[in-house]
Amino acid sequence: MKTLKHYSLLLITIFSLLTSCKENKTEVIKTPEPAFTKEGTLTIIKSTDNSKALLLDIEIAETDYETQTGLMQRTSMKENQGMLFIFPDSRIHSFYMKNTKIALDIIYIDENLHIASFQENAKPLDETGLSSKVPVMYVLEINAGLSEKYMLEVGDKIDFTRL
């Protein structure tokens, strides 16, 4: 009988705790979209005739955090903007589009500042690795379709200036 009273008391306590708890609400916290910060300019020069193919305002990604986050969470980028990734060494680099909401052309650039390879029209939010296939030291991300629009080619040269 004593055990039954204990169980009854325990059940009443548990029930009162459950019914007195406030409703659990999942709150979605939205972080603001990162704003573009102009940190330099970049020119792409055609290898065929040394003409300027494209002039961009760029953000520069050099730290581990900057290179890991890149253009994640952005919903748009102007045609004259891009992000230049600068790595400490020349090696094969691979990028993916996790949390990147805009389609991009990824341009891989060797240590001599020549375009070495492309990944055009990288799909938003795709986690597939996109390899440079050759050793590179720089990577430029621009809006998808601009590589084709400005007829960029392997061998074209870049020149950039920091602000």
d(CA 108, CA 9): 70
pLDDT tens per residue across all 163 residues of the chain: 454 455 555 555 555 555 555 555 566 667 788 889 999 999 999 999 999 999 999 999 999 999 999 999 899 999 999 999 999 999 999 999 999 999 999 999 999 999 999 999 999 999 999 999 999 999 999 999 999 999 999 999 999 999 9
Residue 28, domain member (yes or no): no
d(CA 120, CA 154): 13
Residue 26, domain member (yes or no): no
Residue 27, domain member (yes or no): no
Total number of domains constituting the chain: 1
For the entire predicted model, the pTM comes to 0.81
Domain interval for residue 128:
40-162
* CATH number for the domain that contains residue 107: 2.60.120.1140
d(CA 57, CA 41): 5
CB atoms closer than 10 angstroms to residue 157 = 16
